[in-house]
A and B are shown apart, each in its own frame.
Chain A
Amino acid sequence: MRDVYVAGVGMTPLGKHLDKRLRDLGRVACFNALQDAGVHPRDIQTGYCGNGLGPAIQGEQGIGQNVFWEVGINRIPIINVENACCSGATAFREAWLSVASGLYDVAMAVGVEKTYTQEGGILEIGEADLELKLGLVLPAYFALVANSYIKECGISREDLALVAVKNRFHGSLNPYSQFQTPVTIEEVLGSPVIADPLTRLSCCPLSDGAAAAVLVSEEKAKQLGRKHVRVAASVLQSGSYDNPMNPSLWELNYRASDEAYNRAGLSPGDVDLAEVHDCFTISEILHYESLGFAKRGDGIGLLKDKETYLGGKTPFSVSGGLLAKGHPVGCTGMAQIVEIVWQLRGEAGKRQVPGARVGLTHTMGGMKEGDAKAVAINIFKADVAA
Chain B
Amino acid sequence: MSTSKGPVPVDPSAIVFSADGSASLVGGKCARCGRAFFPKREICPLCFDQGIVEQVLLGPRGKLVDFTVVYRAPGREVPYALGYIRVDEGLLLLAPLTECDPERLAPGMDVEIVFETVEGPGEEEIITFRYKPA
> Could you tell me which A residues sit within 8 Å of B by CB distance?
119, 121-122, 124, 130-131, 133-137, 139-140, 143-144, 146-148, 151, 192-197, 200, 243-245, 247, 370
| Closest chain A CB from B70 CB (angstroms) | 4
A/B interface sample: 30 pairs, CB < 8 A: A121-B74, A122-B74, A124-B75, A130-B10, A131-B94, A133-B10, A133-B11, A133-B128, A134-B95, A135-B73, A135-B80, A135-B82, A135-B96, A137-B70, A139-B70, A140-B70, A140-B82, A144-B94, A147-B68, A148-B66, A194-B71, A195-B68, A195-B71, A195-B72, A243-B92, A244-B86, A244-B90, A245-B92, A247-B65, A370-B84
Pairwise interchain contact B36-A243, C-beta atoms closer than 8 A: yes
Q: Is the CB of B67 within 8 A of A130?
A: no
User: Is B72 within 8 A of A144, CB to CB?
Assistant: no
Are B72 and A192 in touch, CB under 8 angstroms?
A: yes
CB of B69 within 8 A of CB of A195, answer yes
CB neighbors of A among B82-111 (8 A): 82-84, 86, 90-92, 94-96, 102, 107
Interface check B76, CB cutoff 8 A:
yes
Contact between B36 and A134, CB atoms less than 8 A apart: no
Q: What is the bound-complex CA distance between A72 and B11, given in angstroms?
A: 47
35-61 of chain B: CB within 8 A of chain A: 36-39
Interchain CA distance A154-B55 in the complex, whole Å? 39
B114 within 8 A of A: no
Apart from A135-B70, A144-B94, A148-B65, what are 9 other A-B pairs with CB-CB below 8 Å? A122-B72, A122-B73, A139-B72, A144-B66, A194-B72, A197-B68, A200-B72, A243-B37, A247-B65
A131 to chain B, nearest CB (A): 5
The docked-state distance in angstroms from the alpha carbon of A79 to that of B128 is 40
Q: Are A134 and B128 in contact (CB under 8 A)?
A: yes
Interface: B31 (CB within 8 A):
no
A130 touches B96 (CB 8 A): no
Let me know if A140 and B73 touch, CB within 8 A. yes
CA of A244 to CA of B66 in the docked complex: distance in angstroms? 13
Report how far A289 CA is from B67 CA in the complex, Å. Answer: 23
Known contacts A135-B76, A247-B65; is A193 also within 8 Å of B71 by CB? yes
Contacts of B75 in A (CB 8 A): 121, 124
Q: Is B16 an interface residue (CB 8 A)?
A: no
- What 3 pairs across the A-B complex have the smallest Cβ distances? A143-B68, A121-B74, A244-B92
User: Chain A's nearest CB lies how many Å from the CB of B79?
Assistant: 9
Residues on B with C-beta less than 8 A from A370 are 84, 92, 94
Alpha-carbon gap, A137 to B68, bound state (A): 11
Contact call A130/B66, Cβ cutoff below 8 A? no
Which of A151, A196, A244 has most B Cβ within 10 Å?
A244
Q: Which of A121, A134, A144 has the most CB atoms of chain B within a 10 A radius of its CB?
A: A134
Are A196 and B84 within 8 A (Cβ)? no
Q: How far is the CB of A21 from chain B (nearest CB, A)?
A: 24
A121–B75 Cα distance when bound, in Å, is: 9
Complex CA distance for A146 and B84, rounded to whole angstroms: 13
Smallest Cβ-Cβ distance to B39: which chain A residue: A130
B96: which A residues are within 8 A, CB to CB? 134-135
> Which residues of B lie under 8 Å from residue A243 when comparing CB positions?
36-38, 91-92
Q: Assuming the A-B contacts A134-B10, A134-B96, A148-B66, are A247 and B84 also in contact, with contact meaning beta carbons closer than 8 angstroms in the complex?
A: yes
CA distance A139 to B86 in the complex (A): 22
**How far does the alpha carbon of A197 sit from the alpha carbon of B68 in the complex, in Å?**
8
Whether A147 touches B67, Cβ cut-off 8 Å, given contacts A122-B73, A130-B11, is: yes
Task: Please state if B68 and A144 are interface contacts (CB–CB under 8 Å).
Answer: yes
Distance to closest chain B CB from A311 (angstroms): 35
CA distance A243 to B80 in the complex (A): 24
A130-B10, A134-B10, A144-B84 are known contacts. Are A247 and B70 too (CB-CB below 8 A)? no
A124–B70 Cα distance when bound, in Å, is 14
Q: Which of A133, A135, A148, A200 has the most CB of B within 10 A?
A: A135
Q: How far is the CA of A146 from the CA of B70 in the complex (A)?
A: 13
Partner pick for A196 among B11, B68, B91, CB 8 A cutoff:
B68
A201–B123 alpha-carbon span in the complex (Å): 36
**Which of B14, B36, B73, B86 neighbours the largest number of chain A CB atoms within 10 Å of its CB?**
B73
A contact residues around B72 at 8 Å (CB)? 122, 139, 192-195, 200
Q: Is the CB of A130 within 8 A of B86?
A: no
B80: chain A residues at CB < 8 Å are 135
A242 to B91, CA, bound (A): 10
Q: Complex formed: what's the CA distance from A196 to B83 in Å? A: 12
Closest-CB distance, A143 to chain B (whole angstroms): 4
Assess whether B92 is in contact with A247, with CB atoms less than 8 Å apart: yes
User: Complex formed: what's the CA distance from A183 to B76 in Å?
Assistant: 29
